[in-house]
Structure 1
Amino acid sequence: MSRPTGNTRLKAARIAAGFVSQQALADALSAAARELGIRGLMVGVRQVRRWESANPPWPQPDCQRLLTHVLGQDIRELGFTPPWGQETGARPSGAASGRRPPVPVETTVSQPDTAATDFATITRAHRRLYWSVVPSVLHATVMEHARLGCALLPQTSGAPRRTMAAALAESFLLAGRIEFFDLRDSALAQETLVQALQAAGEADDALLGAAILAHTAFIPGWVGDREKVAERMTAARTYARRAPASAEVWAWLDAVEAECLTRCGDNRAALHLLGHAEDVLATGAPHTTPAWMDWFDAIRLAAFKGNAQLRAGHLPQARETLLGVVTALRDGKQRTVILGDLAAVEAAANRPEEACRYASEALDQLSETWYAMGMDRVREVRRALKPWESEGCVRELDDRLYGWSTTVSALGKV
């Protein structure tokens, strides 16, 4: 006789509560959401099916509340394991593939309150190191730090637990940023950003949740899935409304969606959003931008705008915007992107020598601060220079682009 599989605890609790089918439980959970004042939350039968699978995902906080309310049992008693561990070890996403092995956890140990602040201090240091350390090196360190956070989180409570969870969410967010922007691994970034969102939920930090959700929009944006971009950006803005979001946060959300829209081919909508973002920054807001949001300011907004103008074919405007950015910008990683965009402007304007000059400057910067997005821009420019590939300037660019040093950097620094 075959043994039952899947999350038998949840299934047993469902049947014991009188819900014969998964659809019946889904309906009851949706009704409970309305009763408890949780707006806009509908639970479908597919979600219940996932919860009753052999590897059920950890429910989001609102869903945890519904499940415990309707079924009358603790969330762990219903067969769910938090992503930061259990008695026999943590189970980060990706562990089954061997990329992220379990971490032993002593759940009977109680950490001192200083553990959360110490953990958060290291998280802040990693945030600063992102701008100068080789991505693959920093990524390994950040993930080990996140694994430590997964082990420590069950050993904290109260305000220190929220501090620990917020720092853990930031660590996973940083790791996801490295995976997407530096390592160019969208699938792995998606996994990591889900973990970041789970930790932000434990911290009840809506602003971190908004930032994480906006980062997830880049993933479908890069493949032109506009519907999924819109869905994720709506979620990000919903979370931002729950928090005291600053003008920079709101402007950045516009900029993220604008960049995704340019990838989806809607340059007009992108430029409209960027204009709105400029108005938001000019008007301001009474709230402070969180310290962890160190990737955006007025200069970087102009960088988003210059790229959108380039993709819309507004070459004189793009050139003017990007020249202003490259003069003011001190971030080495972003400079590679701006120089690449300037090279693309000149290539589109049939000025191959100027295009090669900016592309070479980008390669100079990449030799100091590697950034996969910057190298992507240079390669796009080289493809645009195909009509002039017999020209001396293009051949010189090829010598640099495919030289030993650059090629090894491209393979080794990611």
Structure 2
Amino acid sequence: MTRPTGNVRLKAARVAAGFNSQQDLADALSDHAKRMGIRGLSIGARQVRRWESDNPPWPQPDCQRVLAQLLGQSLEALGFTPPWGTDGLSSAPGQHPPVPGAAVSSRLPGVPVRKTAASHPAIVGTDFHAVTKSHRRLYWSVAPAVLHPAVQAHATLGCVLLREAAEPTRSVIAAALAETYLLAGRIEFFDLREPGLAHETLLLALQAAGEADAHLLGSAVIAHMAFIPGWVGDRDAARERMTAARTYARRTDASAEFLAWLDAVEAECETRCGDTRTALNLISHAEDVLKDGDAHPSPEWMDWFSPARLAAFKGNTQLLAGHLPQARVTLLEALEAMARGEEKQRSVIYGDLAAVEAAAGNPEEACSYAGQALDQLALTWYATGMDRVREVRRALTPHRHERCVRDLDDRLYDWATTVSALSR
């Protein structure tokens, strides 16, 4: 007799609920998501087939909610294994993962629950945090595809240590684990272009920050989560997450730099959603906040923002608003102000300068800046920088027969660049 294969628990639950085919369940899940107020979630038969396979992937948070409510069972009971392992806990049907702005419980899935207080000395937390700091520094020079597995493995270790640690070591590990998940999410979103995966990872970062009761870190995580809907034009979702991020920031002593960064994040989301006027107002407010300053220092983990980065945000917004002369001046000033260690951002600024010249009808200058962006990308790969170069090349299509554009194509599509881009 042939034994059943695949995720038999989900199959059994599907049939018991009256859905005879995978397509039937997919349709029901999509409809149920709408009734739950989850917008834009469409589940197909192919996704259900993956869930019913031998190694079903852990569903994304919105899918978790819909599956649990529709079928009336926890994810574990439906045959799924969370990536952080299990502690013998099962979520009740309909129990949701946390959403930005909600309180984070230590019993929510995603952060291991401490079974017993192991005899870890305080140095364990210190050492775990030291590796987290090293990964943070390595991000600016090591290829993201190479660094990402190491960061993930470090997070796995952190989950184990967190489950076994007692206070005060537990809080130290939880904060470092939140930083680790935040770094992994940044790599997934900005470098690997995996927004769905980044959302799940950032959700884990938020839960770990809750374990550490680190409100500022939680604010940073939620603000990063705002990028995900913001970059696809979902203004309402981005604004809701920014409201949550600002709420968390108000609960602690946030530095002027951190508050200015929140303005910059919201400005980029507004720019992506087509409202450059609101974005420029937000950037102007951020500039005022930086000028005023305050007595609160920025956290050491906030190494992705500076006045020069704010200027880069501003230049990109001016570019998209059609303010080409202003954008050119702002971007050149940002490039000049870039400090050592900000090489990844240089490729983005070169790309934006190239876009300014392309829009101004200066193909030779555009190709020159695009070439400088490629030079920088050869040293420090950054998917966002390569996206800028590709956008410039599309803008130069009317000039495709000119020598400078053909030379750019030779650079853009040489062996090394093509293989590097496609492999990522």
CA contact (8 A) 1:5 1:54 kept: no
Gap runs ≥5 in structure 2: 1-8, 15-64, 76-90
| Pick aligned residue for 1:147 from 156, 164, 168 | 156
CA distance in 2, matches of 1:155, 1:210: 27
CA distance in 1, matches of 2:373, 2:413: 14
Shift in CA distance, 125/51, structure 1 to aligned 2, threshold 3 Å = farther
Aligned length: 343
Query: Residue in 2 aligned with 1:228?
Result: 237
CA contact (8 A) 1:343 1:359 kept: yes
Shift in CA distance, 318/285, structure 1 to aligned 2, threshold 3 Å = same
- Scaled by the length of structure 1, the TM-score of the pair is 0.78
CA contact (8 A) 2:255 2:295 kept: yes
| Pick aligned residue for 2:415 from 387, 404, 414 | 404
CA distance in 1, matches of 2:111, 2:304: 27
Deviation of the 1:276 alpha carbon: 0.2
- Within 5 A, what are the aligned runs for 1:129-148? 129-148=138-157
CA contact (8 A) 1:347 1:384 kept: yes
- Within 5 A, what are the aligned runs for 1:102-181? 109-181=118-190
Instruction: Provide Cα deviations, 1:345-403, integer angstroms capped at 9, x if missing partner.
Output: 00000000000000000001100000000000000000000110010000000011011
Sequence identity percentage: 62
CA distance in 1, matches of 2:259, 2:103: 27
Deviation of the 1:64 alpha carbon: 6.8
CA contact (8 A) 1:259 1:308 kept: yes
CA contact (8 A) 1:251 1:281 kept: yes
Query: Residue in 2 aligned with 1:203?
Result: 212
Q: Residue type of the partner of 1:356?
A: C
Over the residues paired in the alignment, what is the CA RMSD in angstroms? 2.6
CA distance in 1, matches of 2:384, 2:183: 16
Q: Residue type of the partner of 1:333?
A: K
CA contact (8 A) 1:248 1:289 kept: yes
Deviation of the 1:62 alpha carbon: 6.8
Query: Residue in 2 aligned with 1:343?
Result: 354
- Within 5 A, what are the aligned runs for 1:248-263? 248-263=257-272
- Within 5 A, what are the aligned runs for 1:18-97? 49=69, 53-55=73-75, 56=91, 57=96, 81=109, 83-84=111-112
1:158 match: secondary structure:
coil
CA contact (8 A) 1:84 1:149 kept: no
Query: Residue in 1 aligned with 2:381?
Result: 370
| Pick aligned residue for 1:302 from 277, 287, 311 | 311
CA contact (8 A) 2:114 2:162 kept: no
Deviation of the 1:200 alpha carbon: 0.2
2:268 match: secondary structure:
helix
CA contact (8 A) 1:367 1:409 kept: no
CA distance in 2, matches of 1:228, 1:142: 28
CA contact (8 A) 1:356 1:394 kept: yes
Gap runs ≥5 in structure 1: 7-44, 66-74, 88-106
| Pick aligned residue for 1:284 from 289, 293, 299 | 293
CA contact (8 A) 1:58 1:83 kept: no
Shift in CA distance, 119/227, structure 1 to aligned 2, threshold 3 Å = same
